[in-house]
Amino acid sequence: MKSNVRSIRKQRRYSEEFKRRLVSDFEKGKFSVPQLEKLHGVPHATIYRWIYKFSIFNESGFRVIEMKDSSNKKMKELEARVKELERTVGRKQIMIDYLEKMMEIAKDELDIDIKKNFGTPQSNGSGKTNKK
C-alpha cells in the first residue's frame, strides 16, 4: 500500500535587511534571480515576491523583467576578461623566465652576478653640470 505522505518543509524566516539586500543586489545587476537562488538557497518564487515588495522600481510603476540574455552576456564578458588577464599573466611570466635566463647566462659567461652585485660603480653620465 502506498501512503500519501508529504514531506514537510521547514519554514524559514528571513530578516527584512536580508530581503532588501538580495533585492538591491538584483536591482544593481550583481546577480540574477537564479544566481541568488543558488547562492543563498532561497526559492526563486520567494525572491520574486521580495522584488515585487521591496523594489524601488515597483514604486515608480515599472515592471521588473529579468533578461536572461543580459545575465548570460555579462557572464561571457567576465569570462572573456578572465581569459585576457590569464594571457597577460602568461606573457609576463614568459618575460620573467627570459630575464632570469639572461641573468643566469651573464653569471656563467661573464662572471657577473646581477642579482647580488651591489658594488657596481655608478655611471658618471655626461659629467658634472654647474648650477647657476
25 Cβ contact list (under 8 Å, min separation 6): 31, 36
Nearest CA to 65 out of 52, 54, 53, 76 is that of 52
Q: Which residue has the cell 529579468?
A: 66
Residues 37 and 43 sit within 8 Å (Cβ to Cβ): yes
Task: Inform me whether the pLDDT recorded for 117 exceeds 70.
Answer: no
Residue 124 pLDDT exceeds 70: no
Assess whether 106 and 87 both reside in one domain.
yes
Q: How far apart are the first and last CA of the chain?
A: 109
- Structural domain including 84 reads 67-116
pTM: predicted TM-score of the whole model, two decimal places: 0.40
Q: Is residue 7 part of a domain?
A: no
CA torsion 84-31-34-12 (nearest 10°) is 140
> Each residue of 23-81: pLDDT tens digit?
888 888 888 888 888 888 888 899 989 888 888 776 655 566 666 666 777 888 999 99
In a domain, 125, yes or no: no
Are 17 and 44 part of one and the same domain? Answer: yes
